[in-house]
Amino acid sequence: MTQPPLPRRADAGLATPRHPSAASFLDLVLDPGTWRSWDTPPVRGIAAGLAGQRPDEAAVAGMGALRGTRMDEALVTGMGELRGMPVAVVAGEFAFRAGSVGVTAADRLVAAVERATAERLPLVASPASGGMRMQEGTAAFVRMVGMAGAIARHKAARLPYLVYLRHPTTGGVLASWGSLGHVTFAEPGALIGFTGPRVYEQISGEPFPAGVQTAENLHAHGLIDGVIAPERFAEVAARVLAVLGPPATGVAERLLPAATPEPPREVAAWELVTRSRRPERPGLRFLLDVAAEDVTVLDGSGSGGADPGLALALARFGEARCVLIGQDRQAQRSSGPIGPAGLRKARRGMAIAAELGLPLVTVIDTPGAALSREAEEGGLAAEIAGCLASLADQPGPTLSVLLGEGVGGVAIALLPADRTIAAQHAWLSPLPLEGASALLHHTVARAPEVAREQGIRALDLLRLGVVDQVVAEHPDAADEPRAFCRRLGRVIADELGRLARHAPTDRAAARMRRYRDARPPA
């Protein structure tokens, strides 16, 4: 079976970069006629002055008019509707003094973010800036603290924060409100970097290395989630907010009628392992494509490093919205085993779910972790421990799905949950079975025996109390990929609907009990 690409990637269908102004960005993103400005004229004697100078409002407005912006500052703020959803917007204008943020612009941003928080509006920010305004010195520089703090309070109120980086975005703007998004995209060809190229060249005496400070390079290194054309941002943002934002008016997550689980057939452990390794077996990509809606794949780990083997996505199963972290078996075959960067991406997904109070779904399907010097030096063990701790303390509902192979530390790193479901031919083991056989018997030939003795099968885990429900395969998921994924998707939606009705204190008390009570096979 040919696996489809991960659905609806944020970087699909790029257009030639056009570097929109703040006004044209608002026209592209917001529904016609819905924009309402929140801005008031800058206070006389404070706005955007050179050091030691205090121009009045007319002079400041004149600086914008001379550059064709008709703006009184480097930022515009206000609210409008994005595909019918009310949102607050903060947008930078590079044509006004290189988009630099001084005292007045910073205070305007903070006021807008605080208003968005008070009115419980999702916030869309689109900087285009050379950084903090040097002419205003340290007074402008320290405003980075206030801007970052306002964003942090907005996120603490469980409100979504989306960032679209336009050309160029550098300096203190990137290092404050430009880098704090729950989700971050960038304009094709945009210059994005902390150190401005002119500053670097003046200090070092040589140009900044080519190709580093580009949207595409940041995406390749896992620092942003995608590169999308300005005219596509509204479409992508609407899909993101369909998951991260409040439910649409009049829509509630309904509890599906409980389905009677089909009794799974007994399959010998080694036969089950063999079936789980079939190339035709549907994986994460296929599951999302067939069973989920409003899917947006996020490529960034938030802290650098790319790992295609671990996917982070926003998705909806039925009416249940969730953050999904999943191991992509096909990507692991082509790009290598999951390493520290993949688990950092997983922890970012856990943080998004926790910040926004959303359910978290983890999908386990991996032949094991990267075994390399780079993985050791990158802190693989620490990242596994961090995932376990984060899942143990996750405030919202959690559901883990054993889809296929579940080998080693990177498998158990995604296991802890309020509920766990497993495909009939899924399994969980501390080591690759051939490796466990070599460790115990000094030969890989006894791997089938080890598989039988260790109690690795989904049915064994059900009896152990680690798995709550086994989803049948007829006779194998590889032979009925669409029907199996639709069946699994319905179970995921059903479980999420039920978990949403459990009190958080009840979930927290019960979450770890199953792992404390597990006992080795007799």
Name the pTM for this structure.
0.88
Amino acid letter for position 92: G
What superfamily would CATH give domain 22-244? Answer: 2-enoyl-CoA Hydratase; Chain A, domain 1 (3.90.226.10)
pLDDT at 265: 83
Phi then psi for residue 315, to 5 deg, are -155, 170
Residue type, position 193, single letter: G
State the distance between the two ends of the chain, measured CA to CA, in whole angstroms: 39
d(CA 298, CA 320): 19
Residue located via tokens 């955007």: 48
**Domain locations along the chain:** 22-244, 269-517
CB-CB contact of 422 with 462 (8 Å): yes
The pLDDT assigned to 226 comes to: 95
What is the reported pLDDT for 477?
97
Cα 411 versus chain centre, distance? 19
Tens-place pLDDT, residues 160-174: 999 999 999 999 999
pLDDT tens per residue, range 442-485 = 999 999 999 999 999 999 999 999 999 999 999 999 999 999 99
Angle at Cα 410 formed by Cα 503 and Cα 216, nearest 5°? 95
* CATH homologous superfamily of 269-517: 2-enoyl-CoA Hydratase; Chain A, domain 1 (3.90.226.10)
For 391-416, b/e burial (b = at least 16 CB within 10 A) is beebebbbbbbbbbbbbbbbbbbbbb
For residue 287, CA distances in Å to 185, 293, 403, 484 come to 25, 11, 10, 9
Write out the DSSP string of 228-285.
--HHHHHHHHHHHHHHHSPPPTT---PPPPPP-PPPPPP--HHHHHHHHT-TTS--HH
* C-alpha closest to that of 126 among 67, 75, 172: 75
Q: Quick check: 370 and 333 in contact, CB under 8 A?
A: no
Q: Which amino acid is at 192?
A: I
Cis peptide before 127 (omega within 30 of 0): no
Model pLDDT, residue 50: 39
Looking at residue 253, what is its pLDDT?
47
83: CB partners within 8 A, 6+ apart: 31, 234, 235, 238
pLDDT of residue 251: 41
The residue among 392, 416, 390, 381 whose CA lies nearest residue 402 is 416
Taking the C-alpha atoms of residue 187 and residue 14, their distance in angstroms, rounded to an integer, is 9
Q: Where are the alpha helices (DSSP H) in 256-400?
A: 269-276, 284-291, 329-335, 340-356, 373-377, 380-392
Q: CATH topology of 22-244 equal to that of 269-517?
A: yes
**363 phi and psi, to 5 degrees?**
-120, 125
Q: Note the pLDDT of residue 28.
A: 96
Stretches where the chain sits below pLDDT 50 are 2-4, 7-9, 12-17, 44-68, 249-258
In this structure, what DSSP letter does residue 477 have?
Answer: G
